Amino acid sequence: MNTPAREVIRRPVLTEKSMRGTGAGKYTFEVAPGFNKLAIKAAVEELFNVRVTKVNVLTLPGRTKRRGAHYYRVGGRRKAIVTLRAGDKIDLESLT
């Protein structure tokens, strides 16, 4: 599966909780559904020129929201927590 890396990695997740992991070499990204851990690892290594040691993937389900009397369903997300080799870093501030 030779997919461009930008199709696999959508954006970094920049929350307080995800930024706490950067000190330990863990970075969180929103990823497209349908890609496995190997594709995510290859995409991160290609985009940021780093070595990935571990990939954890979470699938967050959608939820129901309400606007006035109307209810609608918001789609879910998929995110990956990527652990880098010791000494490697990603500069997230240059991405946004």
How distant, in Å, are the alpha carbons of 30, 62, 65, 85 from that of 24? Answer: 19, 30, 35, 10
- Contact (CB, 8 A) for 29 and 80: yes
Q: Please tell me whether residue 19 adopts helix, strand or coil conformation.
A: helix
Q: What is the pLDDT of residue 1?
A: 53
Q: Specify the pTM.
A: 0.86
Q: What averages of pLDDT result for each successive group of 10 residues across the chain (96 residues)?
A: 84 93 94 94 94 96 95 94 94 73
